[in-house]
Amino acid sequence: MLDQVVLSPQIVEEGYVTAEHVAGGSNPLSRRREVGSASARSLLLTILGEFALPRQEPVWTATILDALALHDVEERAARQALSRTSSEGLLASSRHGRRSAWELTDSGVELLTEGAERIYGFMRSAPAWDGRWLTLAVSIPETQRKLRHRLRTRFTWLGLGSPQSGLWITPDTSKVEGVRRVVDELGLTGQAFSWVGEASGIGDEKSLVSSAWDLADVESRYLDFLGLFSERRAESAVDAFAAQVALVQEWRRFPFLDPDLPRELLDHEWPGPRAAAVFHDRHSQWHRRAQARWDELQADAAQRI
């Protein structure tokens, strides 16, 4: 279902992680993507996931314009984001007299539901590691750049890292079915081979980790997140609404950026669990007032002629 949407292989590029996070060079964690540089398209998906998805009811255009305006998105950019999202099959519009409203399509509901599960479930538990790795070797010619990009996008979303060209690894062996599905869907079954097992003792696992994932960049992003939200407070419903959208907008990147490695593979205290605790705590604090503000925006929009 999701792959039928024009730009959405497994929600990575068009769900809760947008295309700018994986476009460009071989390092998908480049600091060129500064924290807070969200596009109108990206913010729209966050708002729809937080407020429209739970209600499953039409959303007035004015509500969306007002919500995006709180994050300095101009009306023209907001309307373009709505139009683009609709053309991709995630939203459908309807007329109500002189006003228009938007509803999530089945594809939109599926997309945002899967994204929400990943966002709110990320780093909720830390299962014990049995020391085994899932390794996949796959050969794609340099000339097939789009296919290589799709593979990199999908595997990175699954949490796999690539220590060298054509080789992908993860210490989470439960992802074998997800890897198999990606390989099958991309038509790479005849070009791939995978296995599961423990390291043999040749070489250093932590060096392998550092070559497969840019953990220094991810750690820096966690520290940025903590700096933004550890002390942030919301004094009003408007503040809570803006704060919750910003909170989710920043947090939703981490399930894509952080492979959530076992403690045994990290050489110091990882800030991820601390950032996760801040995310869930702040979200809980702001949730009721943020939702109430959304209802107010909808009610105000409904009164406009």
Mean pLDDT for 103-132 is 92
Q: Tens digit of pLDDT for each residue in 48-61? A: 999 999 999 999 99
d(CA 224, CA 232): 13
d(CA 136, CA 170): 9
Please give the pLDDT value at position 305.
Answer: 58
Q: Rounded mean pLDDT of the chain? A: 87
Please give the pLDDT value at position 99.
Answer: 82
pLDDT at 201 over 80: yes
Q: Tens digit of pLDDT for each residue in 20-44? A: 333 333 333 333 333 333 589 999 9
DSSP letter assigned to residue 6: T
Please give the pLDDT value at position 120.
Answer: 94
d(CA 81, CA 75): 10
Please give the pLDDT value at position 109.
Answer: 96
Report residue 164 as tokens. 């060298």
45 φ/ψ sector (left φ>0, alpha ψ -120 to 50, else beta): alpha
pLDDT at 4 over 50: no
Query: What values do phi and psi take at 45, rounded to 5?
Result: -65, -40
In the chain, the amino acid numbered 185 is E
Report residue 220 as tokens. 């820096």
The pTM (predicted TM-score) of the whole model is 0.83
d(CA 130, CA 305): 62
Nearest to 20 by CA among 50, 48, 47, 40: 40
Furthest C-alpha separation in the chain: 72
Range 280-285, long-range pairs (CB < 8 A, 24+ positions): 282/229, 282/232, 282/243, 282/244, 282/247, 283/244, 283/247, 283/248, 285/234, 285/240
In the chain, the amino acid numbered 246 is A
For residue 110, name the pLDDT band (cuts at 50, 70, 90): very high
